[in-house]
Structure 1
């Protein structure tokens, strides 16, 4: 199974693809879609077109998107939600199933700590996928989202007696 992970953002949207064969996870590709400083509609179109191109190029079987958290600034939250909507729209138009995970769930599944910082996430992504160097932060977050979905999709966590409660992984 090939999984596309997305870390949505209005300026920078990270993406990461992994292949899953049994319990093995391997790196396929990662990067960022940068929207520049144009008006909102053109930036959203850049995200939509970029996602469509990534899906056409890499042919993922499934996708996972990080959920929006509420910022102190409601305007920032709304803009982030629109960027996320553009990315999800591209995935849905391509016929991909879309799973959603909170940042807490992603960090918990990859690092083991739901409050890990970006450096810790990047380091664990590098180790789990045996990468020579750490991917840039937004791409690392997207790869972490794909890894989180891989754990859910294969049922490995459920088989290990793990479950999710209020966004945290717990032993059942």
Structure 2
């Protein structure tokens, strides 16, 4: 059965990411502080709800014995859509290469790995299972987004240090993304030649 509670929670991230990112964009381009705070609050609510489902869907699937091949495929795709939407907003909003380059690296990696997963559909029971390092990468991406929400508050008090921390977090996450991509590609190469 495809429409289980865990799968619906996973599917929620497919909506929560783009919607939360759109609301964040509205806040970042708002003309008043009141509008910024209002849009920021709505966006934060979607981010928190989506981030919670990232943990909850897997927990419930195992607990309710509803782990499915469809859910195993949909979960990492939902993570990429959820996180990617916010990252795109960051790159466009900043307009700086120091943000756009690591965001492009993260998004490119996610597209390649997703295409790899989809290309293996029907050929394996679990095409390209999610590695532990990739789970850490997703957690790091969530941290980058969460820190940005904090940055909006911290920047009001001269938070240049907070902005620099955020930039470092993005670059570390991009490096981790590329590391996990190499791990997937290496594993795929070994199985195809072995």
Above 0.5 in TM-score? Answer: no
Report the TM range for the smaller structure's normalisation: under 0.3
Structure having the higher helix fraction is: 2
Structure having the higher strand fraction is: 1
Structure label with greater radius of gyration: 2
Higher relative contact order (CA 8 A, sep 6+): 1
| TM-score, normalization by structure 1 | 0.26
